[in-house]
Protein backbone atom coordinates (compact mmCIF):
# COMPACT_ATOMS: atom_id res chain seq x y z
CA UNK A 1 0.00 0.00 0.00
CA UNK A 2 1.21 3.50 -0.80
CA UNK A 3 -0.28 6.86 0.13
CA UNK A 4 1.01 9.91 -1.70
CA UNK A 5 0.32 13.53 -0.80
CA UNK A 6 0.72 15.77 -3.85
CA UNK A 7 0.95 19.51 -3.27
CA UNK A 8 -1.46 19.21 -0.34
CA UNK A 9 -2.48 22.42 1.42
CA UNK A 10 -5.02 22.87 4.19
CA UNK A 11 -6.28 25.93 6.07
CA UNK A 12 -8.57 25.95 9.14
CA UNK A 13 -11.22 28.59 8.59
CA UNK A 14 -12.33 30.88 11.38
CA UNK A 15 -12.21 34.52 12.45
CA UNK A 16 -8.45 34.21 11.87
CA UNK A 17 -7.72 31.51 9.25
CA UNK A 18 -4.82 29.22 10.19
CA UNK A 19 -2.79 27.69 7.36
CA UNK A 20 -1.77 24.24 8.63
CA UNK A 21 -0.19 22.63 5.53
CA UNK A 22 1.56 24.24 2.56
CA UNK A 23 2.18 22.26 -0.64
CA UNK A 24 3.10 19.01 1.09
CA UNK A 25 4.63 16.29 -1.10
CA UNK A 26 5.12 13.05 0.77
CA UNK A 27 4.94 9.29 0.21
CA UNK A 28 3.99 6.80 2.94
CA UNK A 29 4.20 3.08 2.26
CA UNK A 30 4.07 -0.36 3.84
CA UNK A 31 7.32 -1.96 4.93
CA UNK A 32 8.63 1.29 6.38
CA UNK A 33 8.67 3.03 9.76
CA UNK A 34 8.31 6.75 9.08
CA UNK A 35 9.05 9.15 11.91
CA UNK A 36 7.28 12.51 11.81
CA UNK A 37 8.93 15.31 13.75
CA UNK A 38 7.85 18.89 14.36
CA UNK A 39 7.09 21.24 17.21
CA UNK A 40 3.54 22.14 18.25
CA UNK A 41 1.74 23.89 15.39
CA UNK A 42 3.97 22.45 12.67
CA UNK A 43 1.05 20.61 11.00
CA UNK A 44 1.72 17.06 12.16
CA UNK A 45 -1.80 16.23 13.35
CA UNK A 46 -3.38 17.78 10.25
CA UNK A 47 -1.10 15.72 8.03
CA UNK A 48 -1.95 12.51 9.90
CA UNK A 49 -5.67 13.06 9.36
CA UNK A 50 -5.10 13.32 5.60
CA UNK A 51 -3.59 9.83 5.57
CA UNK A 52 -6.89 8.10 6.37
CA UNK A 53 -9.37 10.59 4.94
CA UNK A 54 -10.51 12.27 8.16
CA UNK A 55 -9.53 15.46 6.34
CA UNK A 56 -9.58 16.04 2.60
CA UNK A 57 -7.04 18.36 0.95
CA UNK A 58 -8.37 21.77 0.01
CA UNK A 59 -5.62 22.06 -2.57
CA UNK A 60 -3.62 19.24 -4.09
CA UNK A 61 -4.62 15.59 -3.74
CA UNK A 62 -4.06 12.40 -1.77
CA UNK A 63 -3.53 9.25 -3.82
CA UNK A 64 -4.06 5.78 -2.36
CA UNK A 65 -2.40 3.18 -4.56
CA UNK A 66 -2.74 5.71 -7.37
CA UNK A 67 -6.43 6.48 -6.79
CA UNK A 68 -7.58 9.99 -5.95
CA UNK A 69 -9.26 10.83 -2.64
CA UNK A 70 -10.29 14.24 -3.92
CA UNK A 71 -12.04 12.84 -7.00
CA UNK A 72 -13.90 10.25 -4.93
CA UNK A 73 -12.04 7.25 -6.32
CA UNK A 74 -11.28 5.96 -2.81
CA UNK A 75 -13.84 4.58 -0.33
CA UNK A 76 -13.13 6.58 2.83
CA UNK A 77 -14.66 3.99 5.23
CA UNK A 78 -12.46 1.28 3.71
CA UNK A 79 -9.45 3.59 3.80
CA UNK A 80 -9.95 4.10 7.55
CA UNK A 81 -9.86 0.34 8.06
CA UNK A 82 -6.65 0.10 6.02
CA UNK A 83 -4.99 3.05 7.78
CA UNK A 84 -5.42 2.79 11.54
CA UNK A 85 -5.05 6.10 13.37
CA UNK A 86 -4.18 6.06 17.08
CA UNK A 87 -4.51 9.55 18.55
CA UNK A 88 -2.37 10.90 21.37
CA UNK A 89 -3.51 9.58 24.77
CA UNK A 90 -5.96 7.12 23.16
CA UNK A 91 -6.91 5.77 26.59
CA UNK A 92 -9.07 8.87 27.01
CA UNK A 93 -11.19 7.73 24.04
CA UNK A 94 -12.21 4.36 25.49
CA UNK A 95 -15.98 4.09 25.91
CA UNK A 96 -17.24 0.48 26.07
CA UNK A 97 -18.14 -1.30 29.30
CA UNK A 98 -15.74 -4.22 28.79
CA UNK A 99 -12.37 -4.63 27.15
CA UNK A 100 -13.73 -7.28 24.78
CA UNK A 101 -16.49 -4.96 23.56
CA UNK A 102 -14.01 -2.11 23.18
CA UNK A 103 -11.71 -4.10 20.92
CA UNK A 104 -14.63 -5.70 19.05
CA UNK A 105 -16.17 -2.35 18.10
CA UNK A 106 -14.01 -1.84 14.99
CA UNK A 107 -14.42 -5.36 13.56
CA UNK A 108 -18.17 -5.15 14.15
CA UNK A 109 -18.34 -1.92 12.18
CA UNK A 110 -16.59 -3.74 9.34
CA UNK A 111 -19.53 -6.16 9.14
CA UNK A 112 -17.54 -9.26 10.12
CA UNK A 113 -19.23 -12.36 11.53
CA UNK A 114 -19.02 -13.27 15.22
CA UNK A 115 -16.35 -15.94 14.79
CA UNK A 116 -14.07 -13.58 12.88
CA UNK A 117 -14.66 -10.84 15.44
CA UNK A 118 -13.74 -13.16 18.33
CA UNK A 119 -10.59 -14.31 16.54
CA UNK A 120 -9.48 -10.74 15.85
CA UNK A 121 -10.17 -9.58 19.39
CA UNK A 122 -8.25 -12.52 20.86
CA UNK A 123 -5.28 -12.03 18.55
CA UNK A 124 -5.00 -8.26 18.95
CA UNK A 125 -5.25 -8.42 22.75
CA UNK A 126 -2.73 -11.26 22.82
CA UNK A 127 -0.40 -9.25 20.59
CA UNK A 128 -0.36 -6.38 23.10
CA UNK A 129 0.16 -8.76 26.03
CA UNK A 130 -3.35 -9.02 27.48
CA UNK A 131 -4.84 -12.44 28.28
CA UNK A 132 -8.45 -13.68 28.42
CA UNK A 133 -8.72 -12.74 32.10
CA UNK A 134 -9.03 -9.10 30.97
CA UNK A 135 -11.89 -9.61 28.50
CA UNK A 136 -14.79 -8.85 30.87
CA UNK A 137 -13.03 -6.19 32.90
CA UNK A 138 -13.87 -2.53 32.47
CA UNK A 139 -11.16 -0.64 30.58
CA UNK A 140 -11.58 2.17 33.12
CA UNK A 141 -10.19 -0.07 35.88
CA UNK A 142 -6.84 -0.50 34.15
CA UNK A 143 -3.56 1.32 34.60
CA UNK A 144 -2.58 4.00 32.10
CA UNK A 145 -0.23 1.67 30.24
CA UNK A 146 -2.85 -1.09 30.07
CA UNK A 147 -5.47 1.33 28.77
CA UNK A 148 -3.08 2.34 25.99
CA UNK A 149 -2.61 -1.32 25.08
CA UNK A 150 -6.38 -1.79 24.83
CA UNK A 151 -6.68 1.31 22.64
CA UNK A 152 -3.92 -0.02 20.38
CA UNK A 153 -5.54 -3.47 20.26
CA UNK A 154 -8.84 -1.88 19.16
CA UNK A 155 -7.08 -0.51 16.07
CA UNK A 156 -5.04 -3.67 15.40
CA UNK A 157 -8.26 -5.72 15.40
CA UNK A 158 -9.21 -4.04 12.11
CA UNK A 159 -5.93 -5.36 10.65
CA UNK A 160 -4.69 -2.09 9.14
CA UNK A 161 -1.92 -2.05 6.55
CA UNK A 162 -0.52 1.22 7.87
CA UNK A 163 -0.61 2.13 11.55
CA UNK A 164 -0.45 5.85 12.34
CA UNK A 165 0.41 6.76 15.94
CA UNK A 166 0.52 10.22 17.49
CA UNK A 167 3.00 10.22 20.40
CA UNK A 168 2.29 6.59 21.39
CA UNK A 169 4.79 6.61 24.28
CA UNK A 170 3.81 9.99 25.77
CA UNK A 171 3.44 9.83 29.55
CA UNK A 172 4.71 6.24 29.86
CA UNK A 173 7.62 5.16 32.05
CA UNK A 174 10.78 3.77 30.35
CA UNK A 175 9.52 0.18 30.65
CA UNK A 176 6.17 1.09 29.06
CA UNK A 177 7.86 3.00 26.24
CA UNK A 178 10.16 0.09 25.48
CA UNK A 179 7.26 -2.39 25.43
CA UNK A 180 5.30 -0.27 22.94
CA UNK A 181 8.28 0.30 20.63
CA UNK A 182 9.39 -3.34 20.77
CA UNK A 183 5.88 -4.42 19.81
CA UNK A 184 5.74 -1.99 16.88
CA UNK A 185 9.08 -3.23 15.57
CA UNK A 186 7.73 -6.79 15.59
CA UNK A 187 4.40 -5.74 14.05
CA UNK A 188 5.97 -4.01 11.04
CA UNK A 189 6.49 -6.33 8.04
CA UNK A 190 6.91 -5.86 4.29
CA UNK A 191 3.09 -5.67 4.11
CA UNK A 192 2.63 -3.35 7.11
CA UNK A 193 3.93 0.15 7.70
CA UNK A 194 4.07 2.60 10.59
CA UNK A 195 3.89 6.38 10.80
CA UNK A 196 5.04 7.57 14.21
CA UNK A 197 4.88 11.09 15.64
CA UNK A 198 7.25 11.72 18.52
CA UNK A 199 8.99 14.61 20.25
CA UNK A 200 11.58 12.22 21.71
CA UNK A 201 14.41 12.45 19.19
CA UNK A 202 16.65 10.00 21.03
CA UNK A 203 13.81 7.49 20.90
CA UNK A 204 12.98 8.17 17.27
CA UNK A 205 16.50 8.09 15.80
CA UNK A 206 17.26 4.36 16.18
CA UNK A 207 13.62 3.33 15.61
CA UNK A 208 12.64 4.95 12.29
CA UNK A 209 13.76 3.96 8.80
CA UNK A 210 13.00 7.45 7.56
CA UNK A 211 12.32 10.80 9.24
CA UNK A 212 10.31 13.76 7.97
CA UNK A 213 10.64 17.14 9.68
CA UNK A 214 7.73 19.59 9.49
CA UNK A 215 7.99 23.30 10.22
CA UNK A 216 5.15 25.81 9.76
CA UNK A 217 3.24 23.34 7.59
CA UNK A 218 6.13 22.54 5.26
CA UNK A 219 8.47 19.58 4.87
CA UNK A 220 11.95 20.91 5.62
CA UNK A 221 13.85 17.61 5.83
CA UNK A 222 13.12 14.10 4.56
CA UNK A 223 15.63 11.26 4.73
CA UNK A 224 17.18 8.50 6.80
CA UNK A 225 17.92 9.29 10.46
CA UNK A 226 21.59 9.63 9.54
CA UNK A 227 20.81 12.11 6.79
CA UNK A 228 18.37 14.15 8.91
CA UNK A 229 20.51 14.31 12.04
CA UNK A 230 23.51 15.46 10.03
CA UNK A 231 21.58 18.78 9.73
CA UNK A 232 21.98 19.66 13.42
CA UNK A 233 21.84 23.41 13.00
CA UNK A 234 18.83 23.29 10.68
CA UNK A 235 16.96 21.17 13.23
CA UNK A 236 17.80 23.61 16.01
CA UNK A 237 16.70 26.52 13.82
CA UNK A 238 13.19 25.05 13.51
CA UNK A 239 12.91 24.30 17.22
CA UNK A 240 13.78 20.59 17.19
CA UNK A 241 15.73 19.26 20.14
CA UNK A 242 18.32 16.92 18.64
CA UNK A 243 19.85 13.94 20.47
CA UNK A 244 22.61 14.98 22.87
CA UNK A 245 25.00 12.72 20.97
CA UNK A 246 24.41 14.80 17.84
CA UNK A 247 25.31 17.95 19.78
CA UNK A 248 28.54 16.36 21.02
CA UNK A 249 29.44 15.21 17.51
CA UNK A 250 28.70 18.67 16.11
CA UNK A 251 30.93 20.26 18.76
CA UNK A 252 33.78 17.87 18.01
CA UNK A 253 33.47 18.49 14.27
CA UNK A 254 33.67 22.25 14.90
CA UNK A 255 36.95 21.60 16.74
CA UNK A 256 38.47 19.79 13.81
CA UNK A 257 37.67 16.15 14.42
CA UNK A 258 36.90 14.12 11.30
CA UNK A 259 33.63 12.58 12.53
CA UNK A 260 30.50 11.74 10.49
CA UNK A 261 27.83 14.41 11.08
CA UNK A 262 25.05 11.82 10.79
CA UNK A 263 25.88 9.99 14.03
CA UNK A 264 22.99 9.86 16.52
CA UNK A 265 23.69 6.98 18.94
CA UNK A 266 26.20 6.68 21.77
CA UNK A 267 27.64 3.50 20.27
CA UNK A 268 28.24 5.15 16.89
CA UNK A 269 29.79 8.20 18.55
CA UNK A 270 32.16 6.15 20.72
CA UNK A 271 33.44 4.21 17.72
CA UNK A 272 33.82 7.33 15.57
CA UNK A 273 35.65 9.29 18.28
CA UNK A 274 38.02 6.37 18.88
CA UNK A 275 38.72 6.13 15.15
CA UNK A 276 39.29 9.89 14.92
CA UNK A 277 41.74 9.87 17.83
CA UNK A 278 43.52 6.81 16.50
CA UNK A 279 43.83 8.51 13.14
CA UNK A 280 45.49 11.58 14.65
CA UNK A 281 42.56 13.94 14.07
CA UNK A 282 42.76 17.61 15.01
CA UNK A 283 42.06 18.35 18.68
CA UNK A 284 42.05 22.13 18.69
CA UNK A 285 40.44 23.63 21.78
CA UNK A 286 40.54 20.44 23.87
Q: Which CATH class is domain 2-227?
A: alpha beta
Of residues 189, 238, 221, 172, the one with CA closest to residue 35: 221
Neighbours of 85 (CB within 10 A): 20
Please name the residues in contact with 157: beta carbons below 8 A apart, sequence gap of 6 or more: 103, 104, 106, 107, 120, 121, 123, 124
Bridge partners (DSSP) of residue 197 are 36, 166
Domain ranges for the chain: 2-227, 243-286
Q: What pTM does this model have?
A: 0.86
| Tally of CB atoms within 10 A around 285 | 9
List for the chain the helix, strand, coil content (%; round to 5): 40, 20, 35
- For each of the chain's 286 residues, which pLDDT tens digit applies? 999 999 999 999 989 999 999 999 999 999 999 999 998 889 999 999 999 999 999 999 999 999 999 999 999 999 999 999 998 887 788 899 999 999 999 999 999 999 999 999 999 999 998 999 999 999 999 888 888 889 999 999 999 999 999 988 888 888 888 888 888 999 999 999 999 998 777 778 888 999 999 999 999 999 998 899 888 889 889 988 877 777 777 777 788 877 877 777 777 778 887 787 776 544 443 4
Amino acid sequence: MQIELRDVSYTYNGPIPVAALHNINLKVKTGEILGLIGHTGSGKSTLLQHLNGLLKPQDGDVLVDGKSVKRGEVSLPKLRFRVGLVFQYPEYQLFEETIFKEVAFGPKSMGLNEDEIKQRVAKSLSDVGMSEEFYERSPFELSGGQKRRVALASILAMEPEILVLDEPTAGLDPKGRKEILDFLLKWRTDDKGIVLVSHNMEEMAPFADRIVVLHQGKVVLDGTPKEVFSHTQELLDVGIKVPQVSMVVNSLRSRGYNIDAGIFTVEQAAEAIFDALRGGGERRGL
